[in-house]
Chains A and B, each alone.
Chain A
Amino acid sequence: MYTLGIDIGSSSSKAVLLKDGKERVSQAVIQVGTGTSGPARVIEETFGGLDITIEDMDYIVATGYGRFSVEEADKQISEISCHAKGIYYLYPTAHTIIDIGGQDAKAIRLDGKGNIGQFVMNDKCAAGTGRFLDVMSRVLEIPLSELGDVHFKATQWAFVSSTCTVFAESEVISLLSQGVSKENIVAGVHQSVASKACSLVYRVGVTDDIVMCGGVAQNKGAVDAIEKELSKKIIVAEDPQLTGALGAALFAYELCNRSKRS
C-alpha cells in the first residue's frame, strides 16, 4: 500500500511517500509554498525516477496552509496533528515539540502516547518565525543558510526586541549604525526568535524530550539560542522540514486501513 503526505507551507512545499506505512520510498522539499508552482513541483520531484505515479496512491493526506489547494488529497489534516504524528513516530519519547515554520511558530505538548495534550501558536505577528529570519537576513546581508554559522562567531549577543518584526528591524538597523558586529547581531536575532518561541513552550510546559522541527530547526544558531533560553538539550528532528509531510503520510496509511476495514 502506498500513501502520500503533502505539506504545503507558506514558504515551502514538502512531500513524503510511504510504502505500507513504514518504508520511506521517496521525499522532496521545494523552497516555495502555497500559491506558487511549489505544490506541483514537489509532487513531480517525489515521483521522479519512480515507476509509480500519484494515480497509484491508495490514500493522500494534505496538510499545511495550502492543504485545501491540493486537489488530489483524500483528506486535509492540520499540520499541528501531522507534526505531532510525524515526530511521535520518529521519537516516541518526545513530550514537547517546537515547530518553527515560515509564518508560524508552535509548541505542542504530547502525552507520551502520541496524543496532543495542548498546543499554542504565535500571534499574528511574524516575530519569532522563519519570516522574521528572512527579513533579518536581508537587512544584515547574510544569506539565510549562513546565519547558523555566523551565530557561533558572536562574542557578545546583542539585544534585539522580540515584540514585533518591524520594531526589531529598526533596532537591527540602529545596532548596525552603532557599529555592533554582524555576528553579535545575528546571535541577538536568534535570541529574539528563541525568546518568542520559548514563550509558547513555557505555556505548554517544558518536558523532555524536546524535539524541534520546521525549517528554522535547520538553523543551528536558532537551536543554540533556544537551548540556552530553556537550559535544555533539544533534539533536532531528522529532515526537520519533512515531519509534517511524514505525519500526513502516516495518517494516510491509518485512514486507508480504517476505510478498508469498514
Chain B
Amino acid sequence: MSTINELISRFKEIADNPKKAMDDYRAETGKGAVGIMPVYCPEEIVHATGYLPIGMWGAQGKNISKARALLPPFACSIMQSSMELQLSGVYDELSAVIFSVPCDTLKCMSQKWKGKAPKIVFTHPQNRKAAQSAANVFCREEYLHVKEELEDILGVQITNKDINNSIAVYNENRQALREFSDLVAENPGLIRLRDRHAVIKARWFMEKSRHTALLKELNDAIRSAEKVPFNGKRVIVSGITLEPYEVLDIFEEFGFAIVADDLAHETRNFRQDVPQDEDPLMALARAWNLFDGCSLATDADKPKGRILIDAVNKYKADAVIICMMKFCDPEEFDYPILLQEFAEAGVKNLQIEIDQETTSFEQIRTRIQTFSEVI
C-alpha cells in the first residue's frame, strides 16, 4: 500500500498541471477534453462521450491585463482570470466548452467567449421548488440540448446507457469524496489543508473512475493512520473557492483545520448523489432540483444557513469562515442573511475576501490571526 504522502503527491501533480493531465489523456485515449465553466454542469453527459471534462476555474496570481479591455473591474475575480486565459490561448486545445448561466456575469461571459473551441450554453431553471415538475421538464430539455450539441461537435453518439454508466461513476466518486472529507475531519492535522484541497481539485482534471480509485486508496491509508494530536480550531468554510495554497497555509499557521467545506469548487458538487431515474437526463435534472444551499440555486427558503449550522453541529466545528469571492453578487446577497442566522444560533464566523489576482495575503493573515485570537 502506498503511503499517504505518495498518494497525495499524485493528486497534487494533476491538480497543479491540468495541461499535462489533458495531454496524457489524449495520448492514452486519443480523445480530447471538453471545458467545463463554473458551475454545476451535468458533466456526466460529457463523461459519456469519452472526452475528458476539464474544469475551468481561472488561475491564481494571474496578472489581469488584456481581460480588462473586455470586462469592467466589477466582474468577479474568476471571470477576470478566465477571460485573461481565453485571450492568451490557454483554452484553444479544448474540443468544446460548456457554459451554465446562473448569474448575470456568466450570462454575459457566455456571450463573449474568446477561445477557439465551440461553446455550448445551457440555462438552469430557477423556479425549482414551487414549480418543481415544470422546472424538471425544462431542465431536461436544456440537458438534451447539451447532449445534442456535444454529439454534433464531437461527432459521437451518446446513449442513455452511456449516461447511466457515467452517473454511476460520478455517484461513486461523490461518495468517495464525502468519505474523504469526513475522514479528514475525524483526524484533523493529519492531512494538510493544501493537500485536502489538491485531492478534491484534482477531480476537475481526471476521469472520475480513476480519481475514485486513487481516492479509495487514500481513504484506506487515512483510515489506518494513527490519530495525530490536534489542539487547534475546527472550521467550516463556505464560498465559491478557497485558493490558493498560500491562503490555506495561513489557516494552518494559526491552527485551523477544515472539517467540512461548502464551496462551489468542492463539496457542493458532491454533497448529494444524482437520483435514480429510468431517463438519465431527467435524473440529472432532478439532481439540480434537489440541490440546495448554493447561492446560485434559487430558493426563497434560503436553506444555506440551516445547512451550515447543521454542519457546525455535526462536525463539532468552532466557526464558519465565509470565503467571499470578490464581486460575486449572489454570494454577497446571501451574506447578510447568514450573519443573522449565525448570530441567532451563536455560530462564530469570519469573512475573508478571495481575489484570484492577489499574490499578497497580509490582509487575510491579519484577519485569520485576529480570529484565532478571539475564538
Q: Is B68's CB under 8 angstroms from A195's CB?
A: yes
A8 to B328, CA, bound (A): 39
Binds B, one of A28-36, A48-56, A158-166: A158-166
Binds B, one of A17-25, A135-143, A170-178: A170-178
Instruction: Chain B residues near A177: list those with CB within 8 A.
Output: 362
A198 to B69, CA, bound (A): 8
Does B370 count as interface, using CB distance less than 8 angstroms? no
Q: Is A163's CB under 8 angstroms from B357's CB?
A: yes
Interface of chain B, main secondary structure = loop
Instruction: Chain B residues near A202: list those with CB within 8 A.
Output: 66, 68-69
Q: Is B363's CB under 8 angstroms from A229's CB?
A: no
- CB interface residues, B 60-82, toward A, < 8 Å: 61, 63-69, 72-73
Q: Is A175's CB under 8 angstroms from B357's CB?
A: no
Quote the shortest CB–CB distance from B142 to chain A (angstroms).
34
Q: Is A174's CB under 8 angstroms from B360's CB?
A: yes
Interface of chain A, main secondary structure = helix
A229 to B64, CA, bound (A): 11
A161, A177, A229 interface centre (most CB from chain B within 10 Å): A161
Residue of B nearest to A205 (CB): B69
Q: A159-B61, A170-B363 given as contacts; is B73 within 8 A of A125 (CB)? A: yes
Quote the shortest CB–CB distance from A170 to chain B (angstroms).
6
Instruction: Chain B residues near A164: list those with CB within 8 A.
Output: 73
Instruction: Chain A residues near B66: list those with CB within 8 A.
Output: 198-199, 202
Quote the shortest CB–CB distance from B332 to chain A (angstroms).
17
Q: Is A200's CB under 8 angstroms from B69's CB?
A: yes
Does B358 count as interface, using CB distance less than 8 angstroms? yes
Residue of B nearest to A124 (CB): B73
Does A71 count as interface, using CB distance less than 8 angstroms? no
Does B17 count as interface, using CB distance less than 8 angstroms? no
> Which of A173, A174, A196 meets B68, CB within 8 Å?
A196
Instruction: Chain A residues near B359: list those with CB within 8 A.
Output: 159
A164 to B69, CA, bound (A): 16
Q: Is B72's CB under 8 angstroms from A123's CB?
A: yes
Quote the shortest CB–CB distance from B362 to chain A (angstroms).
4
- CB interface residues, B 262-286, toward A, < 8 Å: none
A144 to B375, CA, bound (A): 45
- CB interface residues, A 80-100, toward B, < 8 Å: none
Does A203 count as interface, using CB distance less than 8 angstroms? yes
A206 to B359, CA, bound (A): 29
B 89-128 binary contact with A (CB < 8 Å = 1; else 0): 0000000000000000000000000000000000000000
> Which of A123, A173, A175, A198 meets B73, CB within 8 Å?
A123
Instruction: Chain A residues near B63: list those with CB within 8 A.
Output: 159, 191, 195
> Which of A170, A175, A195 meets B64, CB within 8 Å?
A195
A203 to B69, CA, bound (A): 5
Instruction: Chain B residues near A171: list those with CB within 8 A.
Output: 358, 360
A 224-252 binary contact with B (CB < 8 Å = 1; else 0): 00000100000000000000000000000
Q: Is A162's CB under 8 angstroms from B68's CB?
A: yes
Instruction: Chain A residues near B362: list those with CB within 8 A.
Output: 170, 173-174, 177
Instruction: Chain A residues near B69: list those with CB within 8 A.
Output: 199-203
Residue of B nearest to A174 (CB): B362
Residue of A nearest to B357 (CB): A161
A67 to B360, CA, bound (A): 41
Quote the shortest CB–CB distance from A15 to chain B (angstroms).
34
14 A–B contact pairs at CB < 8 A?
A123-B73, A161-B355, A161-B357, A161-B358, A171-B358, A171-B360, A174-B362, A178-B360, A195-B63, A199-B66, A199-B69, A200-B69, A202-B69, A203-B69
Interface residues, chain A, with chain B CB atoms under 8 Å away = 123, 125, 159, 161-164, 170-171, 173-175, 177-178, 191, 195-196, 198-203, 229
